[in-house]
């Protein structure tokens, strides 16, 4: 067999040399290995969480916050260094798992070449009580905490974000009125914590906490309902660099790193 000509050799070298660049641009390389990540720390600005209250208490409303004194302007700023940690990635085709400390985050390669690693933790709870006289009470809660790592790998770098988010919902449903026998056990103002979230006006026009009184109709005909929700989200810039550590180094790299701040 004849050796390749000089032209063939040049073409072959150039073609091979283009592959790493193409993979770097398209994110087509294998992401196996141990990566050192740097997560930028962002001081909360105060609006990362939103909350809501829904109810059917007649005439009740949520308290209105006090307007700030416009004569004063206060500014509070802080800059904090990020944290550094190691993550081990095991890739199988278009799926992979990212291991950080004791946490494992399954990942999927997207059509654009980027990766998304995530995990959701959730819990639901329900408690109900009924009485032979017709009284009914139901409490439910639903909480989800999520972690999502999104970004793009080149042959030796990673650029993306780390996102922590949470969602919670608590709901109370209770009969509007009940008997003296029930009141002897649960009290006369019920078990819906309306007084913690709602106000109403009494007969003299004074603001008082809203309650579910056992001998008066305080809510719509469906009974008394109160639902409190909250959603929070924090997103941090995340960069990474490939290392030469092997799987055998995992016992110590999983604990190595730097915490944010001082």
* pLDDT, tens only, 135-193: 999 999 999 999 999 999 998 999 999 999 999 999 999 999 999 999 999 999 999 99
pTM listed for this prediction? 0.77
What is the C-alpha to C-alpha distance for residues 106 and 114, in angstroms, rounded to an integer?
A: 14
pLDDT of residue 87: 94
- Closest among 56, 22, 5 to 212, alpha carbons compared: 56
pLDDT at 26 over 90: no
Measured CA to CA, the distance from residue 59 to residue 112 in angstroms comes to 53
Residue 251's DSSP bridge partners are: none
Query: Would you state the pLDDT for residue 104?
Result: 96
Instruction: Categorize the per-residue pLDDT at 212 as very low, low, confident or very high, splitting at 50, 70 and 90.
Output: very high
| Cα 153 from Cα 240, distance rounded (Å) | 9
Residue 113: half-sphere exposure toward Cβ, Cα within 13 Å: 15
Helix spans in the chain (H): 6-26, 180-186, 250-253
Give me the pLDDT at residue 4, please: 45
- The 8-class DSSP code of residue 13 comes to H
């Amino acid at each position: 067999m004849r050796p390749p000509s000089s032209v063939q050799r040049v073409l072959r070298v150039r073609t091979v040399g283009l592959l790493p660049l193409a993979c770097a641009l398209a994110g087509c390389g294998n992401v196996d290995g141990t990566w050192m990540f740097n997560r930028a720390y962002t001081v909360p600005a105060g609006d990362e969480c939103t909350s809501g209250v829904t109810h059917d208490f007649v005439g009740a409303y949520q308290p209105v916050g006090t307007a700030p004194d416009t004569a004063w302007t206060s500014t509070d700023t802080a800059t904090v260094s990020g944290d550094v940690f190691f993550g081990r990635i095991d890739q199988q085709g278009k799926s992979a798992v990212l291991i950080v400390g004791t946490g494992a985050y399954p990942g999927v390669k997207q059509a654009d070449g980027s990766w998304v690693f995530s995990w959701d933790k959730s819990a639901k709870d329900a408690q109900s009580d009924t009485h032979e006289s017709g009284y009914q009470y139901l409490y439910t809660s639903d909480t989800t905490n999520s972690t999502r790592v999104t970004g793009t790998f080149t042959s030796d770098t990673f650029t993306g974000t780390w996102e922590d988010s949470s969602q919670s919902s608590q709901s109370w449903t209770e009969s509007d009125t009940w008997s003296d026998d029930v009141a002897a056990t649960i009290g006369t103002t019920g078990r819906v914590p309306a007084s913690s979230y709602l106000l109403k006006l009494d007969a003299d026009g004074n603001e008082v906490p809203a309650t579910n009184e056992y001998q008066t109709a305080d809510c719509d005909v469906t009974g008394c309902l109160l639902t409190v929700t909250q959603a929070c989200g924090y997103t941090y810039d995340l960069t990474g660099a490939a290392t030469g550590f092997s799987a055998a180094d995992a016992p110590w790299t999983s604990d190595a790193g730097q915490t944010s701040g001082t």
